């Protein structure tokens, strides 16, 4: 099977680029002297997780219990479910822990911690819980020096359910320079190390001290006191990461293969069969790259995206490919080069959102031949 045989829209993964991106992150982890626990919220794919772990299994991070179960069934045993768990999800977590004894759950709440201990005892399961600490991201997490952190430790610790501390520096995505990312990475590191110290001083040993986002994992100056990092997006990268300076344009490993389905000569645009559902409505990359719209396009046999065109609007199943800045908007597009049926890759703004719409990757490796089909897990 070749690219020309695929239905459109389809999600296509370039294995050569994937391997290159993974090698680069391993190099960063080696430089920083920490383990790599990739966040599979981006890939949601067993084969990608295995690529990161040299063909086998290893520690991973997930964002849903559906992912946790999926990877547990594939033989992954050390799984961190890195979203704070409400009481209603504890029974499912206990079930997954039977297949994956190294399952770790997360809390940042006193009542949440109490529910973990009580439900664990009543189910006869010793949960391993990490405590999320706030290091400037402003989303979730408890302040290391707060009474709530101490209270959570004193609930989890005596029950033997305290497994460590973690932070996520999501605000690294708002940085405007590598120097600013270095600062955020240091705040993430310092915050989680401070939390680990407070826990140790209270007699609760933090086996896991975990940080991570793709930018901070690539640009931390050092990670003294930390033992693992959890980047996720790096396996594929996307236009947002490219705009942030995290990767080159030819590092993007995933594209949406789309077909031309029409033209509007009066409006000077080309219609693709990849719209809001096929690409997602994430427009974050426009903060970094002018007029990137819902994605740039590249020809299947080209390494780099075109500079002159972008998917500037989407409807549910229509993508509208138009001239970007560089091209005079009044100059007619070369419609003759874009007949109905022509195929093109749309490079995603935010690949975590785009990939979520698909149940599989069609894998290529430097040519137009499909060398494998890799399944993704969806839902919750």
Q: Does 270 contact a copy of itself by CB under 8 A?
A: no
Burial of 22 (0-12, 13-18, 19+ CB in 10 A): buried
Q: Does 28 contact a copy of itself by CB under 8 A?
A: no
Evaluate whether 96 touches 85 at the Cβ level (below 8 Å).
no
Q: Does 358 contact a copy of itself by CB under 8 A?
A: yes
Among 74, 99, 180, 261, binds a copy of itself (CB under 8 A): 261
Sheet with strand 162-166: strands edge to edge: 35-36, 228-229, 208-211, 162-166, 129-132, 105-107
Angle between the 147-156 and 178-201 helix axes, to the nearest 10 degrees? Answer: 60
**Contacts (Cβ under 8 Å, ≥6 apart) of 67:** 40, 41, 44, 377
Q: What residues between 38 and 97 interact with a copy of itself by CB under 8 A? A: 41, 63-65, 83-89, 92
Length of the chain: 380
Q: Does 317 contact a copy of itself by CB under 8 A?
A: yes
Of the candidates 111, 92, 114, the one whose C-alpha atom is nearest the C-alpha of residue 103 is 92
What binding mask, one character per residue, do residues 88-117 give for a copy of itself by CB under 8 A, x or -? xx--x---------------xx-xx--x--
Quickly tell me which residue has 């996307």 as its tokens. 238
Q: Does 289 contact a copy of itself by CB under 8 A?
A: no
Q: What residues between 134 and 193 interact with a copy of itself by CB under 8 A? A: 134, 138-141, 143, 170
Q: Of 97-105, 156-164, 184-192, 262-270, which segment contacts a copy of itself by CB under 8 A? A: 262-270
Q: Does 380 contact a copy of itself by CB under 8 A?
A: yes
> How far from each other are the two terminal CA atoms of the chain, in whole angstroms?
32
Residues that bind a copy of itself (CB under 8 A): 7-10, 41, 63-65, 83-89, 92, 108-109, 111-112, 115, 134, 138-141, 143, 170, 259-264, 266-267, 271, 273, 276-278, 280-283, 315-318, 320, 339-341, 352-353, 356-359, 378-380
């Amino acid at each position: 099977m070749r690219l020309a045989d695929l239905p459109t829209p389809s999600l296509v993964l370039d294995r050569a680029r994937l391997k290159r991106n993974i090698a680069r992150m391993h190099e960063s982890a080696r430089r920083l002297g920490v383990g790599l626990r990739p966040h599979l919220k981006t890939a949601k794919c067993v084969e990608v997780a295995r690529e990161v772990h040299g063909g086998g299994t290893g520690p991973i991070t997930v964002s849903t219990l559906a992912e946790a179960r999926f990877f547990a069934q594939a033989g992954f045993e050390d799984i961190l479910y890195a979203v704070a768990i409400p009481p209603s999800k504890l029974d499912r977590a206990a079930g997954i822990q039977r297949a994956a004894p190294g399952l770790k759950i997360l809390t940042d709440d006193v009542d949440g911690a109490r529910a973990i201990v009580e439900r664990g005892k009543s189910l006869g399961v010793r949960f391993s819980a990490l405590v999320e600490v706030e290091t400037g991201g402003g989303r979730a997490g408890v302040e290391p020096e707060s009474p709530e952190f101490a209270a959570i430790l004193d609930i989890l610790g005596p029950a033997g359910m305290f497994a460590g501390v973690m932070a996520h520096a999501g605000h690294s995505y708002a940085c405007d320079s590598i120097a600013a990312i270095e600062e955020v990475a240091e705040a993430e590191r310092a915050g989680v190390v401070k939390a680990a110290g407070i826990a140790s001083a209270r007699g609760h040993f933090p086996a896991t001290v975990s940080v991570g986002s793709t930018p901070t994992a690539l640009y931390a100056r050092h990670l003294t006191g930390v033992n693992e990092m959890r980047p996720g997006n790096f396996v594929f990268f996307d236009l947002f990461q490219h705009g942030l300076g995290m990767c080159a344009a030819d590092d993007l490993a995933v594209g949406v293969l789309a077909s031309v389905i029409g033209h509007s000569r009066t409006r000077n645009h080309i219609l693709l069969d990849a719209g809001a559902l096929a690409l997602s409505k994430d427009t974050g990359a426009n903060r970094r790259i002018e007029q990137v719209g819902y994605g740039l396009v590249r020809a299947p046999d080209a390494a780099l995206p075109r500079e002159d065109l972008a998917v500037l609007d989407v409807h549910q199943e229509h993508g509208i490919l138009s001239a970007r800045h560089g091209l005079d908007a009044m100059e007619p597009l070369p419609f003759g080069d874009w007949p109905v049926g022509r195929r093109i890759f749309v490079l995603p703004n935010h690949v975590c959102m785009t990939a979520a719409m698909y149940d599989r990757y069609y894998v290529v490796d430097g040519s137009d031949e499909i060398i494998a089909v890799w399944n993704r897990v969806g839902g919750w």
